[in-house]
Amino acid sequence: MRVVITGGAGFLGRLLAQRLLERGELTDARGTPRGIDELVLVDMIAAEGEAWLTDPRVSQVTGDIGVRALLAQALTPATTSIFHLAAVVSGQAEADFDIGMRVNVDATRTLLDLTRQLPAPPKFVFTSSIAVFGGALPQVLPDDQILTPQGSYGAQKAMGELLVSDMSRRGMIDGRSLRLPTITVRPGKPNKAASSFASGIIREPIAGVDAVCPVHPETAMWVQSPPRVIDNLIIGHEAPASALHTTRSISVPGITVAVRDMVSSLARVAGDTVAARVSWHLDPTIDRLVSSWPLAFAADRGRMLGMTADADFDDIVRAYIATQRRT
């Protein structure tokens, strides 16, 4: 089978690609387990420098997913699974409405349009976000909570979710939209997501660098570690259509942690000297966006499908330190 990952050179795209290569198979839309013969990374930038990229199953299509011809090159008739991860992230989509619409909405629509022309409806996994909810929300969001985004990124993800559900209902694709929690700890450099600091306040101090937290210490977030989110993306892909019912949107389980408690975990796991590298300086734009996101989800449907959350934030910090030691 041919598996396409848009955003395949990004943070989650690269982790997902490696996991799929190790796993070697996925279940197609007919419920048949099939070996992965081709894994295609579609991204604006080319992934490079990692050993797994030399696997003969891996190829790359490099360019802008806003260009239909580029997507058409990736989606050959052999394509049976698509993971659509490429996106303009929250901070950038809020700062530049047009680029967010072009990538998050227009390119998603073009991709779905090409997808429905494949010989058989493929599985289609769309990475949505908890930012599809905002404003006055219940303490714990039920699975049938209505979509109330309070930022352009969330609005664009909500549009993607509706398209995925409707085209699945029509039998054009076998889609599923997974609302991922904020993912931390992300290695590498900060990105343009409003939530980027949630990784920075752990990653930078561990690397001996000072970090500034732009939100109130009491601000709480719904979070998940990178390895756990990859587990859940694959579980979301593998779920049979019969288990998805009337909506194809699934809130992924996570844990709620106040930013102050993230820093306490850092102190417990890595020591007080490391945690003292975090200072607090409020950025009202980031604080407004992050504070508008929901704090907790029942995530019953996700759990029923077998998705799981991390045990606690100490575990997330320990897992990050362990991966850093391995690299």
Ligand X SMILES: NC(=O)c1ccc[n+]([C@@H]2O[C@H](COP(=O)([O-])OP(=O)(O)OC[C@H]3O[C@@H](n4cnc5c(N)ncnc54)[C@H](O)[C@@H]3O)[C@@H](O)[C@H]2O)c1
110 makes contact with ligand X (CB under 6 A): no
Residue with tokens 């996991």: 19
Q: Which residues of 179-207 are buried (b: 16+ CB within 10 A; e: fewer)?
A: bbbbbbbbeeeebebbbbbbbbbbbbbbe
183 makes contact with ligand X (CB under 6 A): yes
The binder of ligand X chosen from 21, 34, 52, 64 (CB under 6 A): 64
User: CA-CA distances (angstroms) from residue 61 to 14, 45, 67, 128?
Assistant: 14, 9, 12, 23
122 makes contact with ligand X (CB under 6 A): no
Phi, then psi, of 244 in degrees rounded to 5: -100, -15
108: its two tokens: 């998603």
The binder of ligand X chosen from 2, 3, 4, 11 (CB under 6 A): 11
Verify whether residue 320 is a known catalytic residue.
no
The binder of ligand X chosen from 152, 165, 195, 225 (CB under 6 A): 195
Catalytic residue among 83, 126, 133, 153: 153
C-beta of 114 vs 267, nearer to ligand X:
114
The binder of ligand X chosen from 9, 71, 206, 305 (CB under 6 A): 9
Which listed range, 24-32, 41-49, 52-60, 314-322, lies at the site for ligand X (CB under 6 A)?
41-49
C-beta of 89 vs 213, nearer to ligand X:
89
Report the side by side order of strands in the sheet with 220-224.
Answer: 182-183, 220-224, 255-258
Counting every residue, how long is the chain?
A: 327
Contacts of ligand X in 69-88 (CB under 6 A): 85-88
Q: What are the percentages of helix, strand and coil residues in the chain, rounded to 5?
A: 45, 20, 35
Which listed range, 6-14, 19-27, 117-125, 271-279, lies at the site for ligand X (CB under 6 A)?
6-14
Q: How far apart are CA 198 and CA 262, in angstroms?
A: 8
Q: How far is the CB of 180 from ligand X (least distance, A)?
A: 4
182 makes contact with ligand X (CB under 6 A): yes
Q: How far apart are CA 8 and CA 64, in angstroms?
A: 12
Instruction: Give 251's strand partners.
Output: 179
Which listed range, 111-119, 135-143, 179-187, 234-242, lies at the site for ligand X (CB under 6 A)?
179-187
User: CA-CA distances (angstroms) from residue 165 to 63, 84, 173, 227, 249?
Assistant: 27, 14, 9, 26, 7
165 makes contact with ligand X (CB under 6 A): no
307 makes contact with ligand X (CB under 6 A): no
* Binding residues for ligand X, total number by CB under 6 A: 25
Closest-by-Cβ residue to ligand X is: 10
Task: Write the single-letter amino acid at 229.
Answer: V
43 makes contact with ligand X (CB under 6 A): yes
Q: Residue numbers of the site for ligand X (CB under 6 A)?
A: 7, 9-13, 43-45, 64-66, 85-89, 103, 127, 129, 180, 182-183, 191, 195
Q: Catalytic positions, please? A: 153
